[in-house]
A and B are shown apart, each in its own frame.
Chain A
Amino acid sequence: AQKITQTQPGMFVQEKEAVTLDCTYDTSDQSYGLFWYKQPSSGEMIFLIYQGSYDEQNATEGRYSLNFQKARKSANLVISASQLGDSAMYFCAMRAKAAGNKLTFGGGTRVLVKP
């Protein structure tokens, strides 16, 4: 079975500072992908970043970077230079072939950026 755990239900971060959102996963599959999505209060799910299990380099997309530690089964998201518009729910998700390539989501972390 696939499982994603996000241990931080909510976080405050000061504008312009960096924030790390924790994500750990559990799977017996060797081939899997890890995703982070942002969900603002309006509800849409915005794809942020992807890391494949065989990727040796940590993924980066603009201000987002993924700290992938395969041995620890963690895939933390780092948001640098936080902006007020970063306030949202953030979901970590995993897709594995063994699970039929369905996305399994973590419980989410709510981030509030303070001015």
Chain B
Amino acid sequence: GAVVSQHPSWVICKSGTSVKIECRSLDFQATTMFWYRQFPKQSLMLMATSNEGSKATYEQGVEKDKFLINHASLTLSTLTVTSAHPEDSSFYICSGHSDTNQPQHFGDGTRLSIL
């Protein structure tokens, strides 16, 4: 099946630093990638949708200046959490699909802990 690689899998950093998370589609071209956030024992919450070569579309309540998304190629999307604070600690997971008739395939997620 389709493979999405997400890196890093675990990040611990100090408050105020910026953290970049990469999401790569390894064996398909992801025209659209999605970024989700998941709190413990909760469902996935969509943060933003990114299409290759265009600006990301953010869901209501998600700060676009806080969570910078770049989708520069058909195989790579990045999420940068800028000036991270403890409340940004969460599990972030990306997904992609090659077209709308295909299921979304997910990366393994990134556990972000801000001290």
| Chain A residues within 8 Å of B, Cβ to Cβ | 33, 35, 37, 42-47, 50, 91, 95, 97, 100-103, 105-108
**Nearest chain B CB to A46 CB, angstrom units:** 8
Complex CA–CA separation, A97 to B108 (angstroms): 26
**Nearest chain A CB to B109 CB, angstrom units:** 4
A43 touches B111 (CB 8 A): yes
Among B32, B46, B57, B93, point to the contact of A45 (Cβ < 8 A): B93
17 contacts between A and B (CB under 8 A): A33-B103, A42-B108, A43-B108, A43-B109, A44-B108, A45-B44, A45-B93, A45-B106, A47-B106, A95-B104, A101-B32, A102-B49, A103-B44, A103-B46, A103-B104, A105-B43, A107-B42
A102 touches B46 (CB 8 A): yes
Complex CA–CA separation, A91 to B43 (angstroms): 8
Residues of A within 8 A of B106 (CB): 37, 44-47
0 or 1 for each of B90-104: is its CB under 8 Å from A? (1 = yes):
010101000010011
Complex CA–CA separation, A105 to B34 (angstroms): 13
A108 touches B43 (CB 8 A): yes
For B105, the closest partner residue in chain A by CB is A47
B contact residues, range: 20 to 34
